[in-house]
Amino acid sequence: MPLVEIKKFDLVSNSSAIALGVKKEHKPVIQLVRKYQSDLEEFARVKFEMRPFQTKGGAQKKEVALLNEQQTTLLITYMRNNPIVRAFKKRLVAEFFRMRAALENKEKSRNVARLEYKPMTEAIEQAHRAQGQSLAPHHFRSEADLINHIAVGMTAAQFRVYHNISHKESLRDYLTPEQIYCITELQRANTVFLRMGWDFKYRQTRLMQIFEQYHCPSLIKEQRRLLA
């Protein structure tokens, strides 16, 4: 379980990871969060979400608290200061520092992915004009879905439903850094393929080959790290 994670464009820890870090059961840690929730919310609203965990009886869900850096640091100060807690504090500082760099990279990659989408839309327009075809919104949507399905295993609409994302929010805010990088590179390749006049099926095959050769290993490694 990662100690610090990127949630949209915030860095957060969670009560389950904190409990693991200070070698306590989760129950007293989330009870501490609720006891001092008003103190913690001087730094932002404390968010809660249901997360899966494994038991001897099978998979279940538990409620965890999501805390930003200030909230996490404050919560630790309310715990008894012993060698385990002190060691955890040092790990926490180092991990938030490390993840700030990852967050900056995600923000940069997100902007690049957004900029790279425009050349692909222009290539779609050119391809249809070259064939004397009229353009419709679904032509752009099908190309975007082609990329999304290869990179994240589902269309944009399916991803929104699965992750409960409203249509007012940007999908890219919920992607991991590797997913954003993968989508950016596939968009670039698809733009070239469209300009070469390749049909949809052939482009799909070539994009899948690029994904499997250059992106699949990194995405699997990232998911294992996030789930560890």
Of 79, 94, 111, which residue constitutes the final position of a domain? 79
Are 116 and 167 within one domain?
yes
Residue 96 lies in a domain: no
Amino acid 166: pLDDT: 83
Are 62 and 111 within one domain?
no
Are 70 and 135 within one domain?
no
- CB atoms < 10 A from the CB of 164, how many? 7
Amino acid 35: pLDDT: 96
Residue 93 lies in a domain: no
Q: Looking at the predicted structure, is the pLDDT value of residue 111 above 80?
A: no
Per residue, the 3-state secondary structure of 120-169, as one string, reads HHHHHHHHHHHCCCCCCHHHHHHHHHHHHHHHHCCCHHHHHHHHCCCCCC
Of 79, 111, 140, which residue constitutes the final position of a domain? 79
Choice among 15-24, 43-52, 128-137, 161-170 with the minimum mean pLDDT:
161-170
Amino acid 227: pLDDT: 61
- The mean pLDDT value of the chain amounts to 88
Amino acid identity of 66?
A: L
Are 115 and 181 within one domain?
yes
Are 107 and 212 within one domain?
yes
Residue 88 lies in a domain: no
- Name the more confident of 125 and 111: 125
Are 127 and 207 within one domain?
yes
Are 127 and 33 within one domain?
no
Q: Kindly state the percentage of the chain with pLDDT values over 70.
A: 95
Residue 214 lies in a domain: yes
Amino acid 226: pLDDT: 65
Domain around 64: 5-79
Q: Looking at the predicted structure, is the pLDDT value of residue 77 above 80?
A: yes
Q: How far apart are CA 13 and CA 96, in angstroms?
A: 9
Are 196 and 164 within one domain?
yes
Are 126 and 39 within one domain?
no
Choice among 59-68, 109-118, 214-223 with the minimum mean pLDDT:
109-118
Q: Looking at the predicted structure, is the pLDDT value of residue 89 above 70?
A: yes
Residue 131 lies in a domain: yes
Determine contact, residues 113/184, Cβ cutoff 8 Å. yes
Are 67 and 141 within one domain?
no
Residue 23 lies in a domain: yes
**Is residue 228 very low, low, confident or very high in pLDDT (cuts 50, 70, 90)?**
low
Are 75 and 110 within one domain?
no
**Is residue 207 very low, low, confident or very high in pLDDT (cuts 50, 70, 90)?**
very high
Q: Looking at the predicted structure, is the pLDDT value of residue 125 above 90?
A: yes
Q: Which of 24, 10, 25 is nearest to 70 (CA)?
A: 10
Kindly report, residue by residue over 131-150, the tens digit of the pLDDT.
Answer: 888 888 899 999 999 999 99
Are 220 and 111 within one domain?
yes
The structural domain count of the chain equals 2
